[in-house]
Chain A
Amino acid sequence: MANYNDIIDNCKSTKGGIIEAFHALQEEFNYIPQEALTEAARAFGLSEAQAYGVATFYSYLSVEKRGKYIIRMCESAPCHVAGADAVIKAMEDYLGIKVGETTADGKFTLELCECIGQCQATPVISVNSKPIFNVTAQQIPEILGQYK
């Protein structure tokens, strides 16, 4: 696993690049660990509070530990009318967790999100940012079963 100091160093020359650094950290750890946040604040000349303010403003960034696979369910209006509620329910049942939680084995985190811009094929979920189209409640065990 890459060292977070190296990840942050790579973004340091980018003006205003703390969000880029957070993306890169999440790419490696799936969340922004506390020590990495402190280091990023130092590298970009911000107070820790300011860096924390940035990290918690954006819904894609998380300062809480998350699973290996982050499932995001779109619940904006086009997915809502296409049956998002039933898909959420099916995922909660299959994973045995509620929205916002991570499975005990650390594999899946289930999150809600707003529109991910794939409205030609609603309802849509994404797993680690990869969109999956026209999802039905019945398909959930098959779809999520592919993630080992």
Chain B
Amino acid sequence: MAEEMRVLLKYADHINPESAEDYIKVGGYEGLKKARSMERKDLINEVKRSGLRGRGGAGFNAGMKWSFVPPNAPVKYVVCNLDEGEPGTYKDRIICEKNAQALLEGMAICGHAIGSDQGYIYCRGEYPFVVELLKNAIASAKSSGVLEGFNIEVRMGAGAYVCGEETALIESIEGHRGEPRFKPPFPGVEGLWAAPTVVNNVETFACLPYILVNGAAWFAGIGAEKYPGTKVLTLTGDINNPTYFEVPTNYTLRDVIYKLGGGIKNGKKFKAVQVGGTSGAFIPEQNLDTPIDFDSMGAIGAALGSGAVLVLDETRDVVDVVTRISKFFEHESCGKCNPCREGTFRCREIMEKINSGRGSEKDMDNILLLAKVMQKAALCGLGQAAPIPIESTIKHFRHEYMRKVL
């Protein structure tokens, strides 16, 4: 198996992503029509049965998430997370640039399922051109009448990685500092302006039209059994084809790197791959035959996350790269909770000490202990995931650390 499977990106570059008419010509908005002919409960069950799980990184069953919204609440919101701040990730930008109308349709389907007529797209501040594209796409969909009473507003973030966390994102839409909230209550019960809110990733929403048109069973039959469908991956680093691909979720890492990615650049050998963005684990050669789906990656102590794939060749200094990553988390920690604010600072401090040849094995023990504390005690995913690159490289590339410690 070396072929892509394009569902979301099937008509990439063949249609104008802003044009609802173009999208309708290739079967667009049929899923929404079908959704609107269904009872809300049946629609949520259909999405549950498809097995669609969140494509932003947490992998939660989408239909299940929707089912938490109390049906009798007077106001509800549909929020799309387009904050993709995970370094190495640009798949949500690609989905918007190639098939923006599918995102709008998916949001409207969710709107019908939970009884909401207002959607928000929270787009990261780094993508002002995507904000423009989406505004034009919304205007096109509105004028063609397909969205009926469902409104979508685009809000632009301003450069804060933590706003990818759904409650921090909600705070940011409300015009506040993007600091995560304590949970519970979860957004499904009390989210944007205290109203029940579904927050899903761009890719999750964009899957919905295809699930509705082709049926839950069709989607559930693609790729891995427990994390079905396709996944858009973005390849970066020392790879011959640094681009995006859409593959079924049972595709293996080795095929991603060697078949689609064309292997390691400049004829060099493979050293490590970091999957899921900068908060992901580094994976050694012996685990490359693992399928990319959420649970298979979890079983090897890694995560699919956002689907970013950063490849490092044999010449790369793993300790140096991880030191750089530890600076990222120190910079992006919002400072609300102590384990993350102090933990990311100390991680960076210890990593710099080791990287500059002044560290000891005791420092490695300390950083592993700190990693445990952060994973257990940090308020949100940022602080919990921040030590994963450190832990995974001490586990798989200990010899590289040992070369640098006193």
Contacts and interface: CB of A to CB of B under 8 A. Distances in A.
Interface of A: 15-20, 22-23, 44, 53-54, 57-61, 75-78, 80-82, 113-122, 126, 129
B281 to A, nearest CB: 13
A20 B193 CA distance: 17
Given A53-B177, A80-B321, 5 more contacts: A59-B158, A76-B87, A76-B88, A81-B237, A81-B238
A16 B332 contact: no
Contact of A78 (B176, B177, B236, B331): B236
Given A58-B125, A81-B312, A81-B316, A23 B158 contact: yes
A113 B327 CA distance: 12
B92 to A, nearest CB: 8
Contacts of B243: 120
B325 A120 contact: no
B135 interface: no
B82 to A, nearest CB: 10
Nearest to B124: A117
Given A60-B159, A61-B158, A129 B126 contact: yes
Contacts, number: 120
A77 B332 CA distance: 14
A122 B236 contact: yes
A77 B244 contact: no
B86 A59 contact: no
B84 interface: yes
Contacts of A81: 237-238, 310, 312, 316, 321
A100 B310 CA distance: 28
A8 to B, nearest CB: 13
Nearest to A23: B156
B283 interface: no
Interface string B318-353: 000100110010011010000000000000000000
Interface in B269-324: 274, 278, 308, 310, 312, 316, 321, 324
Contacts of A117: 84, 89-90, 93, 124, 126-127
A15 B124 CA distance: 18
Contacts of A82: 237
Contacts of A57: 160, 177-178, 334
A129 to B, nearest CB: 5
Contacts of B238: 81
B155 A120 contact: no
B384 interface: no
Contacts of A121: 242
B331 A114 contact: yes
Contacts of B156: 19-20, 23
Contacts of A115: 85-89, 126, 278
A40 B274 CA distance: 43
A118 B236 CA distance: 10
B193 to A, nearest CB: 7
A102 B193 CA distance: 39
Contacts of B89: 115, 117, 119
Contact of A18 (B86, B128, B175, B321): B175
A22 B87 contact: no
A81 B320 CA distance: 9
A120 B193 contact: no
Contacts of A116: 126
B393 interface: no
Contacts of B382: none
B126 A54 contact: no
Query: 9 nearest interchain CB pairs?
Result: A58-B158, A16-B175, A76-B87, A115-B87, A60-B159, A59-B159, A60-B158, A57-B177, A78-B236
B161 interface: yes
A144 to B, nearest CB: 20
11 contacts: A19-B175, A58-B160, A59-B160, A78-B88, A78-B236, A80-B321, A80-B324, A81-B312, A81-B316, A115-B126, A120-B236
A119 B328 contact: no
Given A114-B331, A117-B124, A15 B193 contact: yes
B275 to A, nearest CB: 13
A78 B273 CA distance: 12
A97 to B, nearest CB: 21
Contacts of A20: 155-156
A82 B237 CA distance: 7
A54 B175 contact: yes
Contacts of B308: 119
